[in-house]
Amino acid sequence: MKQTVSTIQQMKRDGKKIAMLTCYDYSTARLMDEAGVDVILVGDSLGNTILGYEDTISVTMEDMIHHSAAVARGAKNPLLICDMPFLSYQTSVYDAVVNAGRLMKEGRAQMVKLEGGQEVCPQIEAIVKASIPVCAHLGLTPQSVHAYGGYKVQGKTEAAAQKLLDDARAVEAAGASMVVLECVPEKLAQKVTELLEIPTIGIGAGAGCDGQVLVYQDMLGMFTDYVPKFVKQFANVGEVMKNAFAAYMDEVKNGSFPDESRSYKMDENVIEKLY
Indicate which single residue of 18, 40, 80, 83 sits in contact with ligand KIV (rule: CB under 6 A).
Answer: 83
Which residue, 232 or 253, is less far from ligand KIV as judged by CB?
232
Which residue, 37 or 203, is less far from ligand KIV as judged by CB?
203
Number of residues that bind ligand KIV (CB under 6 A): 12
3: contact with ligand KIV by CB under 6 A: no
Determine contact, residues 113/83, Cβ cutoff 8 Å.
Answer: yes
Q: How many residues does the chain have?
A: 275
Indicate which single residue of 132, 138, 213, 222 sits in contact with ligand KIV (rule: CB under 6 A).
Answer: 213
Cα–Cα separations (whole angstroms), residue 30 to 71, 75, 259: 8, 6, 30
Determine contact, residues 163/138, Cβ cutoff 8 Å.
Answer: no
What is d(CA 195, CA 164) in angstroms, rounded to the nearest whole number?
12
183: contact with ligand KIV by CB under 6 A: no
Q: What are phi and psi of 135, to 5 degrees?
A: -110, 130
Name residue 200's beta-bridge partners: 179
Catalytic residue among 34, 106, 119, 182: 182
215: contact with ligand KIV by CB under 6 A: yes
Supply the minimum distance, in Å, between the C-beta of residue 98 and ligand KIV.
21
Determine contact, residues 20/37, Cβ cutoff 8 Å.
Answer: yes
Residue 164 is given by DSSP the state H
Residue 182: active-site member: yes
Contact region with ligand KIV (CB under 6 A), list: 42-50, 234-242, 255-263, 267-275: 42-50
88: contact with ligand KIV by CB under 6 A: no
226-253 CB burial, b ≥16 within 10 A, e <16: eeeebbeeeeeeeeeeeeeeeeeeeeee
Per-residue contact flags (x/-) with ligand KIV for residues 189 to 208, judged by CB under 6 A: --------------x-----
45: contact with ligand KIV by CB under 6 A: yes
Which residue, 11 or 42, is less far from ligand KIV as judged by CB?
42
Which residue, 126 or 180, is less far from ligand KIV as judged by CB?
180
Residue 135 is given by DSSP the state E
What is d(CA 42, CA 165) in angstroms, rounded to the nearest whole number?
26
Contact region with ligand KIV (CB under 6 A), list: 39-47, 88-96, 188-196, 235-243: 39-47
Beta strands in 43-194 (DSSP E): 79-83, 111-115, 134-139, 178-182
**Which residues carry out catalysis?**
182
The residues binding ligand KIV (CB under 6 A) are 22, 41, 43-45, 83, 137, 180, 182, 203, 213, 215
